[in-house]
Amino acid sequence: MFYKFVPKLQNFRILKYSKHTIKNKMLENNRIEKIEGIKKAIEPLRQEIINHKVYSIIKDLEDLKIFMQFHVFAVWDFMSLLKTLQNNLTCTSVPWFPKGSADTRYLINEIVVGEEADIDLYGNRKSHFEIYLDAMKQCGASTSQIEVFTKTLNSSENFETAFNEANAPQAARDFVSFTFKIIASKKDYLQSAIFTFGREDLIPSMFIAIINDIHKKFPDEISLFKYYLERHIEVDGGHHSHLALQMTSNLCDKNDAYWKEAELATIESLQMRINLWDGIYQQIVDRKKVPAFEQANHSEKVL
């Protein structure tokens, strides 16, 4: 009779389900192990960034302006990296067809919404790049270099021409060039890796304290920058960080070669960040060596 076989059938289903569950658990444990391996490999570089001397040398508004005039290039190319991932992992053309994993599509699209259409201090929808530009203008930092760069790049589609036309700082050129080298590789798992590990929350509490001190002296000049940092920590360092980790994990999956490439690309990405911070530090040091009247003349030329 059929009922005699029902318990055996149920046991088979339970066994099959258990094997599937165990397999998924092993895969998840492997991914966690790989992520922890990358974190361990990059920790010395992360500490070097977090404890970089550039933070402690920022003493006043003029120092902060220099920092922002360099850093804005990194904010811009972050958006380019983000949109590259969206283009590679989802269908952004018509006619539309399903592309890749729905889980990965969800992860990148949610990050894009938060980065490309966030809320500014006044409740308006803006990208993080646009919020940063507003913060620069509020404190009197020159936006001419980044604006000339993006305008020239948009018309010429040539990075070298855009860098030269904008007279972009060498450290910023090198940083952007590395990002676009990864973009040109067309390897989404590398793009995701440097997005996740190379751009995660690296803002030390010391820098936040310095900005808070400057804000007390100049509340009307850096309220937008203070908001940007707070928003960056809240969004990028929290929810988006978890989404990005999951996205990188999905893309590298069970491929050991992908995980190793991701680790090496992340290490190089963090080194480029250190080089950018070194460039900012040196520029601030040089400013402090220049007499005040010469600094004023130089500022007028930049503006």
Instruction: Summarize pLDDT for 71-119 with one digit per residue, the tens.
Output: 999 999 999 999 999 999 999 999 999 998 898 899 899 989 989 999 9
| Cα dihedral across residues 55, 57, 60, 63: positive or negative | negative
Write out pLDDT tens, residues 244-268.
Answer: 888 899 999 999 999 999 999 999 9
Q: What does the buried/exposed string (b/e) look like for 188-205 if buried means 16 or more CB atoms within 10 Å of the residue's CB?
A: bbbbbbbbbbbbbebbee
Map residue 119 onto helix, strand or coil.
strand
Closest CA to 231 of 143, 122, 140, 81: 122
Say if CB 79 and CB 127 are below 8 A apart. Answer: yes
Quick one: 88 exposed, middle or buried, by C-beta within 10 A (0-12, 13-18, 19+)?
buried
Write out pLDDT tens, residues 225-242.
Answer: 999 988 877 776 556 778
Global confidence as pTM: 0.85
Examine residue 219 and say whether the peptide bond preceding it is cis (omega within 30 degrees of 0).
no
Q: Residue 296 — pLDDT band, cuts 50, 70, 90?
A: low
Beta bridge mates, 126? 118
Say if CB 276 and CB 175 are below 8 A apart. Answer: yes
